Amino acid sequence: MTTARGPRRADGWTAGVRERLGLGRLLPLGGPADGVWIAETAAASVLRGAAARPGAVLGVLRIGLAEEAVAEGSVTAAGAGDGRDGPRAPADRGGPTAPPAPPSALPPGPLRIAAEFSAAPDRPLPDTAAALRAALLAAAAARLGLEITEVDLTVTALLEDGTSDQVTAPAAAPPARVAEPEGPVAAAAAGAPGVVALTRVLGSPVHTARDHVRVEVATAGNHRALDVARSVRTAVAAATEERLPVSVLVTDVVGPGPADVSQPPGAEPGRGTTV
């Protein structure tokens, strides 16, 4: 039987599916014991902002598992595990059990950035690529906490005269599907330093299962996403009576970051396409 509420429910379900797909891949932040993931769209937005500079315009940008991680067989089928979440991240030897990954999330391991860009013809292409690569690596480490071991860049076009100086960083968008904190666990997560809001893209902002708790958050751009997520895990673990393993999914990074992010000391340059 068709009711007046039927189309609205269908529209809401469709919007929810689109929003989940809009997150892109769910990328691991930090190490296996951190239990933290970030949406590819959120990470890509930060990287694009950091790479905005005269002389180059980024095109398609994707983040996925590095080639060595794939070769070692670290890719686990999406959804494998307890039937509700993704593969369980391995815990450190002798440490506590790590929480399972969110549905369809990539397992912890090194990552690879693959990007296309247009370049100004009056500048050496290797220099332009090197500057882009350094900016992407620095932002991935200092602003997010992503373990990037490969950066592959491909020149797809040359910019027309004057176009290279028209650099526009992506505008900061408000976090999608903001949720008000309800209950002590949600309040603890929302109160962690660097949390802008709780979100509910995969479901409720605090998902409690039999053996773990998962929290969704949007973080501030002037805080390192991994550090914020670790603070959320600590706060949530202290607020739960069962002391269940806690995982965190960063769905948005809101607002600009520091004006200058230098490459971390000792960072290795990523491998990329020679241009």
259 belongs to a structural domain: no
The whole-number average pLDDT for the span 109-117 is 96
Q: What is the pLDDT of residue 10?
A: 44
- pLDDT, tens digit, for every residue of 193-245? 999 999 999 989 999 988 899 999 999 999 999 999 999 999 999 998 878 89
For residue 163, pLDDT beyond 70: no
Q: What is the pLDDT of residue 55?
A: 87
- How far are the Cα atoms of 37, 83, 178, 182, 251 from residue 199, in angstroms, in the given order? 14, 23, 5, 12, 7
Q: Across the strands, what pairs with 151?
A: 113
262 belongs to a structural domain: no
205 belongs to a structural domain: yes
- How far are the Cα atoms of 3, 84, 220, 229, 231 from residue 224, in angstroms, in the given order? 47, 29, 8, 9, 11
- pLDDT, tens digit, for every residue of 242-262? 788 999 999 999 988 765 454
91 belongs to a structural domain: no
Helix axes 40-51, 125-139, angle to 10 degrees: 130
Structural domain including 137 reads 24-75+99-254
Rounded Cα distance, 200 and 198, in Å? 7
188 belongs to a structural domain: yes
Closest C-alpha to 215, from 231, 104, 64:
231
275 belongs to a structural domain: no
122 belongs to a structural domain: yes
**Number of domains into which the chain is organized:** 1
160 belongs to a structural domain: yes
- pLDDT, tens digit, for every residue of 53-91? 888 999 999 999 997 556 555 443 333 334 345 555 554
Rounded Cα distance, 65 and 105, in Å? 11
pTM value > 0.85:
no
